[in-house]
Structures are given as structure tokens and as C-alpha cells.
Structure 1
Amino acid sequence: MHSGLVHSLDFDRDGKTLTHLSIPFSIDRSPYFQVKVPICLIRNGEGPSVLLMAGNHGDEYEGELSLARLIRKLDPARIKGRITILPMANTPAVMAAKRCSPLDGGNLNRAFPGDPAGNPTSRLAHFLEKELFPRHEIVFDLHSGGTSMEHLPTALVERNGEPGRHQRTVALMQALGMPYGFIADNGAASPTSMGAARRAGAIGISGEFGGGGTATVDSMAITARAIDNLLLAAEAVDEPVLAPPSGHDAATQLLSLSRHSQGIYATRRGWFEPATKLGDRVAAGQLAGWYHDLERLDAPEEALHFAETGIVLSRRLHTMCEAGDCLMQVAEPVQA
């Protein structure tokens, strides 16, 4: 078989199954090579069905490490229903420490709905949207800023046109206990995992849990708490699995990022020096940082200013920049 995706999962079998999704892909050193994507299925009778995934982008580690730990710690006897775990969805990207797959350049979070006869990333996206997501009530896709960005801890859901379903989605997002949250409006044709979850009839929840291509004590703690809170809210478990109870979480502040003017973008090659920190509240016209040209030492640095008022949501970590790189984003606080 030279196309498609194969697996041996039995979604009705109780217990814990750790196996792989296999994607045939002939390469120079191995003509019958298969991309092996690890997947864990944990089932205990009837009940809620939750899919947890990370490694959609390979250099976003908080979710990958947390879900690997969850696989090891979660006893089927502790759950109700089915929990499916994809700790390294874009496995080639994870192994290469890259955002996109080195096999085909595929960005999994821009590949949905995919193609069963396409490249490995496209085949995986097709399987997720058409076969795996529809088997679950909730799809939770964990992200972070990756190697080049740092990001406020922020949950994200897509706006749903059905009021009751939208309320349920927002309630689950707020149950994560994240300090900030987004309600995105990318439309039914969105090529992201959240668009795919919506088309598959599942409640999609995502979020940014850190950044910088690393994992910290704080980013791992907030990721563990969010996973536990989601499983508790879904009634798939009755006590936290990854972390002890943390007490009452503060209410999630909803944010809006809907205008190009909320970002600052490089228009030429240069070196960016920030003047504000992640989470700072800034005003329109305030200094955001300086753009240096180290190839023209006689030219003064350029002062960059925010065009919008809000909260600094993300910033580029790599100092050297090219035209088109996003340097900073400012999100607008909104009411639910």
C-alpha cells in the first residue's frame, strides 16, 4: 500500500492501547518507509470522548511533554468513557525540532481537511478530520509560541453559529483556568485543527501555553492544570491526574485580535529591540521598541510605536528579522 494511513486501533476496546498511525511514504534511504505517529487510546466503558493532541507544530513542547506524562500516568480505571492522546501529531516536525514537517514542508495546522492521496501531512490531516475527530465530543489541541515567539498563556475557541453549542464551547474554554482567552471567527473553511473539529461535529478547544522552543516550570504547570481542568469539566475523570488541585482559578479575560493594525511587522531586514514586555498594557502611540540596521551603522535606530491600545499578547524572540516577520501583537480586552 503506497497511500493513505493505516492503524490497528479498536475504538470499542477497554483498557490502554499504545500504538501508531502509519503513513507510507517512500524516501531515498527507505523505499517502503512509514511515518510512525504515536497514539494512545484509553477506554473504560461508556461516557464522554475526549481527544488530546500536541505537536501539531513540532517545536511547541509544553503539550508534547504533558501528554507524554499523561499517557504514563493515566490508569483506565480512573476514567469514564474514552480519552485518545496524540502527543506528537506532526511527529517528523517534533523529531526535527521544527514548526513544519521536514519530509514535505507541511504545516499541519494549515493542512485541513487534507487529502488521503497527498503528502504525509495532508494524509494525516484527512485522517484526523474525517475519521478521528468525529469519534470525539471534544478535541483539545495544545500549542505554544514555538521557537521564534513567546506568547501569553491564552485559550482559544472558534465561534459557533449554534447558540447552545457555542455556550458549551465557551464554558469549557473558561473551565481550563487560563488567564486569557480568545473567541476566533475564522469561518467554516478554516484550515486549522479548530476548523476541522468544527466540521467534524466536535467541540474544538486550543490555546497557547508558552513559547521560545522550551518548557519552563510555569508553562508546564499551567499546561498540566488546563488538561486536568478540561478532563474534569468533561467528566472524563473525577480528580486531577497531572497536578494537585490549585484552588479557585481567576476568571478568564477574553481578548480580541481581529485587525492587522494590532500587529507590528518588519518591512525590511533588521534587528528588533523591544521596549515592552509580554502582558504589558499599552496605549496607541506608545513606544514598542527600536529597529536597528547593523549593516548601516551610520543610520539611527527606528522607533516603532503601537497603533492600538491593549495587552501585549506575543513578541518575536529572534532579534534578527526579515520583511514580513511579526514583531509584536496587541490584543484588545473584550467582554463575553
Structure 2
Amino acid sequence: MHSGLVHSLDFDRAGKTLTYLSIPFSIDRSPYFQVKVPICLIRNGEGPSVLLMAGNHGDEYEGELSLARLIRKLDPDRISGRVTILPMANTPAVMAAKRCSPLDGGNLNRAFPGDPSGTPTSRLAHFLEGELFPRHDIVFDLHSGGTSMEHLPTALVERNAEPARHQRAVALMKSLGMPYGFVADNGAASPTSMGAARRAGAIGISGEFGGGGTATVDSMAITARAIDSLLVAAGVVDEPVLAPPNGAVGATQLLSLSRHSQGIYATRRGWFEPATRLGERVAAGQLAGWYHDLERLDVSEEALNFAEAGIVISRRLHTMCEAGDCLMQVAEPVPA
């Protein structure tokens, strides 16, 4: 009664069910409090099983808004199989507009495989990896740069040791219509949702769909297209649900981000001024920006240069920085 996670889901029930995952967690104002994580299960006959989740980090809104809309729009009669939707996986973080949960400081995307008797974030991670992910063929986790980062729209899959499964994952990633894509290799013990999906036997797909702690016309459009495209490619629906087709899209450029030297990090308190834009191709040694010290106005700003060539995929939006903050990242284009 005081640990674990409880729910009333019937995974074999046809139609649409909107309910909650409930996590007991005593707090000062409510000793028998439960964290309520909304979840929607839509099923119609036999077919693929797809899990769509957003709000892994609370301040990443494109996926949260799009999946909330999908819950309202997706008619069970339109699908073949099962679609499970978690629009606000880390609900406390979503409601607080924070990356991590204010209840326990938990970063859900670093909490897998979790602990059934741990903090709320850890209990949720344990349920997702141990109970929910294994029931699905595909797990699609939608991210964006959050409040502090601007990110190039980029899809991601984890490398899988099984060649057929890996090829299927890359093909599904390319079907999203994203301009860029990664094949990540974070190891068997990866604490991320994609590592958890792989351990659960599902194909994990993720991506960054915007940033800045906001939603734009463009970021919402690319998110809707990716969700629609995945559901069609998986064989769950035969036409888009969130948005009408908007013409052909270009091929996905694969990228590699595998070395810390591809990032520029602050080593002290300061104020960062960028000199390059997201999506630019840069050379090793090229100017990335300047680091100012507004506490020492007599000291000139420091020029920061890229250590490696590539495409600028992210930059810090907050000008004020502390030691350890990532200021920019470049990724290396690789053959498809």
C-alpha cells in the first residue's frame, strides 16, 4: 500500500481507456498522497502494439501537447492493434515546468531500470521497463531541448545486437521524416528509456523535436508528422491522424555524437555569446562564441573554438552559465 505502483488497466480490453498509474508517496500536506500519471490505452483487434510517451522531462512540450491531442483524436475503429499513450510520463515535472521531478529530484531518463520500493521516479521507471515496455513492439519517446537548450530536430535509436531488429529500428527512424538521425550506443546498462526499451525486447525510437521550453508552429508540425508517420509505418493506422500529409520529405542525414570533444563546456561562471547558428556546418578550430565575465569588466571576453568539425546540433539558451554547463555540440555526418 505504501510502495510500488498500482493501476486498473486491462491490456486486452477493446476500445479507449483513459486512466492513471498511481504511485503512493507520502508528503507533508497529504500522508496518503498518490502521484497520478495519466495513461490511455486504445485497442482494436489484433495488430502491432505501439507505446507513445512524452514528458519524460517535464519542460519538453511538443510531445506532451501532441500526445494529448492524439488521445482526443484517435478513434479505436481507425487502428489495428494497440496504442498506449503516456503524454506526461514524469507528471510532477510537467506540472512544475521542470526537467526533473520536484518530489524527488528524479530525472526519469536516467532512472531505468528503477526500483519498486524507491522514489516515485524510480518506481515509475521500474514499472515501465518491467511491465509496460515488454507489452509493446515499439516504444516512441518524444523529447526536445527543454528550457535551457535549443536543439536541431533529430531522431534517435539505440544500436541493437540483433541485425534484423536494428535494421527495423533504423528503417522506422527514417520513416519519421526527420532531417537528422542518430544511432546511439550507450551500452547494455543504459539508464535511459531507449536502453530500457531494448532490454524489454521492444524497438526504441526517440528524438529531439524542439527546445527552449516552448512550442512553435514548426516544432509542432514536425512532431505531428513524426507521430503520424510512425503509426502508419508500424501498420497501426492507414492514414495520418494528427495532420494531413504535407508533401514529400527529404532523406534523413545520419549523425554521430560519440565523443566529449564534440561539445564545448563552461569551466567557470560566465556569460556565453554564440557566434554560430543551429544547423551550421563548422570546421575544427572555427569560432563558436565568446565567454564574458561580467564580474570583471576589465577582462576581455574569451574566444571559444570548436575542437571538431561537424553540424551544430544544440546550444545553450541561457546566457548565464556555471562550470559544467554544455554550451554547444557538433555532430559528425556519417553515411546512411
Following TM superposition, by how much is the alpha carbon of 1:286 offset from its aligned partner in structure 2, in angstroms? 0.6
CA offsets 1:299-321 (integer angstroms, 9 cap, x no match): 00000011111100000000000
Q: Name the CA distance, whole Å, in 2 between partners of 1:113 and 1:246.
A: 39
Q: Name the CA distance, whole Å, in 1 between partners of 2:247 and 2:230.
A: 15
Q: Name the CA distance, whole Å, in 2 between partners of 1:103 and 1:27.
A: 9
Following TM superposition, by how much is the alpha carbon of 1:247 offset from its aligned partner in structure 2, in angstroms? 1.9
Q: TM-score, normalised to structure 2's length?
A: 1.00
Following TM superposition, by how much is the alpha carbon of 1:151 offset from its aligned partner in structure 2, in angstroms? 0.2
Q: Secondary structure at the match of 1:47?
A: coil
Q: Secondary structure at the match of 2:20?
A: strand
| Residue 154 of structure 2: aligned partner | 154
Q: Name the CA distance, whole Å, in 2 between partners of 1:315 and 1:16.
A: 40
Q: Name the CA distance, whole Å, in 2 between partners of 1:317 and 1:15.
A: 43
CA offsets 1:16-65 (integer angstroms, 9 cap, x no match): 00000000000000000000000000000110000000000000000000
Q: Secondary structure at the match of 1:10?
A: coil
Following TM superposition, by how much is the alpha carbon of 1:296 offset from its aligned partner in structure 2, in angstroms? 0.1
Q: Secondary structure at the match of 1:249?
A: coil
Q: Name the CA distance, whole Å, in 2 between partners of 1:260 and 1:152.
A: 18
Q: Name the CA distance, whole Å, in 1 between partners of 2:22 and 2:38.
A: 9
Q: Given the alignment of the two structures, is residue 268 of structure 1 paired with residue 268 of structure 2, yes or no?
A: yes
Q: Name the CA distance, whole Å, in 2 between partners of 1:188 and 1:45.
A: 34
Following TM superposition, by how much is the alpha carbon of 1:232 offset from its aligned partner in structure 2, in angstroms? 0.2
Unaligned runs of 5+ in 1: none
Q: Secondary structure at the match of 1:11?
A: coil
| Residue 16 of structure 1: aligned partner | 16
Q: Name the CA distance, whole Å, in 2 between partners of 1:261 and 1:195.
A: 23
| Residue 50 of structure 1: aligned partner | 50
Q: Secondary structure at the match of 1:201?
A: coil
Q: Name the CA distance, whole Å, in 1 between partners of 2:80 and 2:270.
A: 54
Q: Secondary structure at the match of 2:236?
A: coil
Q: Secondary structure at the match of 1:29?
A: coil
Q: Name the CA distance, whole Å, in 2 between partners of 1:218 and 1:249.
A: 14
Q: Secondary structure at the match of 2:64?
A: helix
| Residue 192 of structure 1: aligned partner | 192
Q: Name the CA distance, whole Å, in 2 between partners of 1:262 and 1:126.
A: 33
Q: Name the CA distance, whole Å, in 1 between partners of 2:220 and 2:311.
A: 23
Following TM superposition, by how much is the alpha carbon of 1:78 offset from its aligned partner in structure 2, in angstroms? 0.5
Following TM superposition, by how much is the alpha carbon of 1:204 offset from its aligned partner in structure 2, in angstroms? 0.1
| Bigger Cα displacement from structure 2, 246-255 vs 221-230 | 246-255
Q: Secondary structure at the match of 1:88?
A: coil
| Residue 219 of structure 1: aligned partner | 219
Following TM superposition, by how much is the alpha carbon of 1:236 offset from its aligned partner in structure 2, in angstroms? 0.2
CA offsets 1:140-165 (integer angstroms, 9 cap, x no match): 00000000000000000000111111
CA offsets 1:214-267 (integer angstroms, 9 cap, x no match): 000000000000000000000000000001012221000000001111000000
Q: Secondary structure at the match of 2:291?
A: strand
Q: Name the CA distance, whole Å, in 2 between partners of 1:160 and 1:325.
A: 31
Q: Name the CA distance, whole Å, in 2 between partners of 1:146 and 1:199.
A: 26
Q: Name the CA distance, whole Å, in 1 between partners of 2:269 and 2:93.
A: 27
| Residue 180 of structure 1: aligned partner | 180
Q: Secondary structure at the match of 2:171?
A: helix
| Residue 29 of structure 1: aligned partner | 29
CA offsets 1:139-193 (integer angstroms, 9 cap, x no match): 0000000000000000000001111111000000000000000000001110000
Q: Name the CA distance, whole Å, in 1 between partners of 2:110 and 2:260.
A: 19
Following TM superposition, by how much is the alpha carbon of 1:205 offset from its aligned partner in structure 2, in angstroms? 0.1
Q: Secondary structure at the match of 1:318?
A: coil
Q: Name the CA distance, whole Å, in 1 between partners of 2:249 and 2:80.
A: 25
Following TM superposition, by how much is the alpha carbon of 1:327 offset from its aligned partner in structure 2, in angstroms? 0.2
Q: Name the CA distance, whole Å, in 2 between partners of 1:158 and 1:255.
A: 13
Following TM superposition, by how much is the alpha carbon of 1:107 offset from its aligned partner in structure 2, in angstroms? 0.2
Q: Which runs of 4+ in 1 moved over 2 A?
A: none
Q: Name the CA distance, whole Å, in 1 between partners of 2:165 and 2:88.
A: 28
Q: How many residues align?
A: 336
Q: Name the CA distance, whole Å, in 1 between partners of 2:118 and 2:281.
A: 45
Q: Name the CA distance, whole Å, in 2 between partners of 1:165 and 1:37.
A: 30
Q: Secondary structure at the match of 2:117?
A: coil
Q: Name the CA distance, whole Å, in 1 between partners of 2:135 and 2:327.
A: 39
Q: Name the CA distance, whole Å, in 1 between partners of 2:221 and 2:214.
A: 14
Q: Secondary structure at the match of 2:300?
A: coil
Following TM superposition, by how much is the alpha carbon of 1:91 offset from its aligned partner in structure 2, in angstroms? 0.1
CA offsets 1:54-108 (integer angstroms, 9 cap, x no match): 0000000000000000000000001110000000000000000000000000000
Q: Name the CA distance, whole Å, in 2 between partners of 1:178 and 1:203.
A: 18
- Aligned-pair identity in percent equals 91
Q: Name the CA distance, whole Å, in 2 between partners of 1:134 and 1:162.
A: 17
Q: Secondary structure at the match of 1:115?
A: coil
Q: Secondary structure at the match of 1:239?
A: coil
Q: Name the CA distance, whole Å, in 2 between partners of 1:268 and 1:49.
A: 48
